[in-house]
Each structure stands twice: as C-alpha cells, then as structure tokens.
Structure 1
Amino acid sequence: MTTALSHGLWACPCCRRLCRPSAGNRGGAGRCPRCGATAHPRKPDSLSRTWAFLIAAATLYVPANLLPVMQTSSLLGSSRDTIISGVVYFWTSGSPGLALLIFSVSILVPLIKLGALAYLAFSVRRPGATGPHRLGRLYRAVELAGRWSMLDVFVIALMVGMVRFRTLATIEAGPGAAAFGAVVVLSMLAAASFDPRLLWDASGPSSHEH
C-alpha cells in the first residue's frame, strides 16, 4: 500500500499541507513551510496516550454509575440517587422515553465508545483481523459520537432539573457526577490521542509508529 509516509511526506496538523522533512529529521518533528506548525509523521506516543486515557476512563466508569450523582433534600426527607436509580425513577413515573434517553447517553453510549476505541487501539497491534476500511468507518463513528459527548452531561443536568421541578427539592451534586464528567473528558482525550493513520500503516507491508 502506497502512503504519503512511505514517500517521506508528512501532513501538517493545522493546514493539512504535505511537508517533506529535512534529510536528518525523518523520525522526529519538522516545521510546516506554510503555517510554521510543528508536524510529526504520526502523533507522538499515540497508542500509549490512548490506552492511558482509556484505562483511566474505564476505571472511573464504575464509580460514575455506582456512586450518587445527586443528593436530594426535601420536606419528605433526603435521598442519594445514582444514574441507574434516575433511569428507574423516570421509567416508573411515566416517562419511559426520558428514561431510555438517560440510559442510552449516560450508560450505553460511553461503554460502547470505550469498547470501540479499545478495539481500534488493539487492532493496530494485531493487524489483519479486520480491514482498514471497516476500522476507518468505526473510527469515524467514534469521532462523530465524540461531538455529542457533552450531551451526557446535559442529560444529567436535565435529570436534576426535572427532579427539582417535580419535588421542589434542594439538590447537590454527588461524587458520581464528578466521576461521570471525568469519564466524558477522558474518553474525548482518548479519541483525540488516537491516530487513525496507524490503522493503514498496520495493514501495509510495514508498520510505522513514532
């Protein structure tokens, strides 16, 4: 497979211009002649940083769903609600659509996104199992989902607002909310750290990772 890298060309991360580095600088960084940005043949330590963010996000995914995301106090008492209990609350209170929305964007979508990124990172090390075209489409799907990552936080805020409106309660954020926000940010960083060009490098006659 013929690639720009095999011909000694790099893509500028800012203006996307193809750059040809100097003869003694083919393994490090160079300057784009158009915009002056620093260009690399591939994102430095792409897989290492991707795995680091993924492991951190997966570790925080458990407390994000098990710890309370909000603490409610009202005349009827106080309660500590998790994301799952919020889903159950809206389901039993006659709002199944909102319950499914919260379950999808707060539990299902983050889990699928982390799994897809882990599969992509694993495929770079074990090429041949899946074609690069399919892996490229999977990465574009993950990237598209990343643009809606903050929807998870919005839904949590909506859930808090709905409970406040219905019960006239005083609500405070719980430790689960911080863990959930960290999962969203770490998953976005993992997607940004992954270099999809490694998928094509792995499928070629030789692998390149810098």
Structure 2
Amino acid sequence: MALTAKEAGLAACHVCNRLIPVAELAATGHRCPRCGAGVHGRKTDSLARCWALVLAAVIFYFPANLLPMTHTGFLGKVQSDTIMSGVLYFFASGSWPIALIIFIASVFVPLLKLLVLAYLLISVQRRSHWRPAERTRLYRMTEIIGRWSMVDIYVVTILVALVKLGALANIEAGPAAPHFALVVVLTMFAAMAFDPRLIWDRMGEETD
C-alpha cells in the first residue's frame, strides 16, 4: 500500500492544500505558512460532530415531511399541502417532471444523504476495509448534491413573494418550511464535519 501523508509526517492545509511537515507546525502556531489557515492532521472530533448533526437532521426530517409546506388561499378557501401532497398534485395534474424534481430534491436526496452519512460513520467506527475508494466517492457525491435539496424552499419563497392577491389568492409558507431548511443545512454541516481521510486511516489497521 502506498505511503500516506500522515505516515510521511505531513499535514494538508484545508484552504490552499499545501502539504506541511507536522514537525514544523508548532513553530508556525499550527498555521499554514502560505495562507495562514489553521492546520491539523484530522478534523477535530469529526465522528462525534457528524453524528450529532445527522441525528439532529433526522429529528427535523419528520416534521419537515409531515407538516404543511404551504398554505394556499383561493377565493376564500385555504388548502394546506405537505411536500408529498404537492408531489401527488403535480403528478395527478400531468406535470410529472415537476413532481419528479420535487420528489427527488425534497424527499429522496435528503433521506439518501442521511443514510449515506450514517453508513459512512458506522463503517469508519467498525474499521471497515471494504472498498475505501468507492466510499470516498460516495462521500464526495453526497457533499456535492446536498445543497440542491433547497429547491423546494426556493420555490416556496418565490411563490410567497409573487402570489399576494389579497382575498383572491394568497400563498404562505407552512410550518414545514423552517424544519426542511434545517434538515438541509444540518446535513450540509454534517458532510463538512465528516473527515473522509478516516476511511483510509482504517486501511492501515488490523481488523478485529
């Protein structure tokens, strides 16, 4: 197996990616000599912080999907819609591409991201040696696509701003909106807290 930066006594700056000898970090106050950012071998308490954020996101995921996302008023009648009821409405009305986009971005992706992060955390804690390259790619994919879950919040925000016709028609954000935003933000921070290098650190360890 190839020599890793950690085994070679090097640490990488998270900002400019410069490799710095660990022995020289004390002299620089654990700061990168090029950009001045803090440098450490691994993210501090990565697993604990990631678990805390994932569990918090799971708690908010349920009200985000069970509570109404919007309250729509039309000619004196008010209709409340959850994310799934909105998906079913668009599907029934023939707008299946919109329904598919909302379902993938607002239901499938957040749930998938939570499951992937939980799997990565468990695999690292169990010192798994199974396909580290694939698990690293899985993490990178999760990190990239997570932010696109905010599409539902963007749609609600635009509709709330545009549809203000008084008693004729009106759209207001429901109680699910802040919960859903918290799910997206928490999963983004969870992905940032997870250190994928821990996957490779386990490769040099003996299995139990």
8 Å contact 1:12–1:18 — kept in the other structure? yes
Shift of 1:131: 1.5
Aligned length: 203
3-state DSSP class of the match of 1:5? coil
Shift of 1:104: 1.1
Structure 1, unaligned stretches of length 5 or more? none
TM-score (norm 1): 0.86
Q: Which residue of 2 aligns with 1:171?
A: 171
Structure 2, unaligned stretches of length 5 or more? none
Distance 1:34 1:92, change over 3 A: same
Deviations 1:142-197 (A, max 9, x none): 122134343343344467689889xx621111110110111111111011111110
8 Å contact 1:70–1:173 — kept in the other structure? yes
Distance 1:158 1:87, change over 3 A: farther
8 Å contact 1:9–1:21 — kept in the other structure? yes
Q: Which residue of 2 aligns with 1:12?
A: 13
Q: Which residue of 2 aligns with 1:185?
A: 185
Question: 1:87 & 1:161 partners in 2: Cα distance?
Answer: 21
Shift of 1:46: 0.8
Q: Does 2:178 align with 1:198?
A: no
TM-score (norm 2): 0.87
Q: Which residue of 1 aligns with 2:71?
A: 71
* Superposition map of 1:149-160 within 5 A: 149-157=149-157
8 Å contact 1:86–1:159 — kept in the other structure? no
Distance 1:183 1:160, change over 3 A: same
Q: Which residue of 1 aligns with 2:93?
A: 93
RMSD of Structure 2 on Structure 1 (CA):
2.6
Report percent identity of matched pairs. 51
Question: 1:172 & 1:206 partners in 2: Cα distance?
Answer: 56
Letter in 2 for 1:80: S
Question: 2:161 & 2:89 partners in 1: Cα distance?
Answer: 14
Distance 1:109 1:161, change over 3 A: farther
Distance 1:172 1:86, change over 3 A: same
Question: Which piece of structure 1 moves more, 71-80 or 9-18?
Answer: 71-80
Question: 1:67 & 1:149 partners in 2: Cα distance?
Answer: 17
8 Å contact 1:149–1:184 — kept in the other structure? yes
Q: Which residue of 2 aligns with 1:128?
A: 128
Moved over 4 A (4+): 155-165
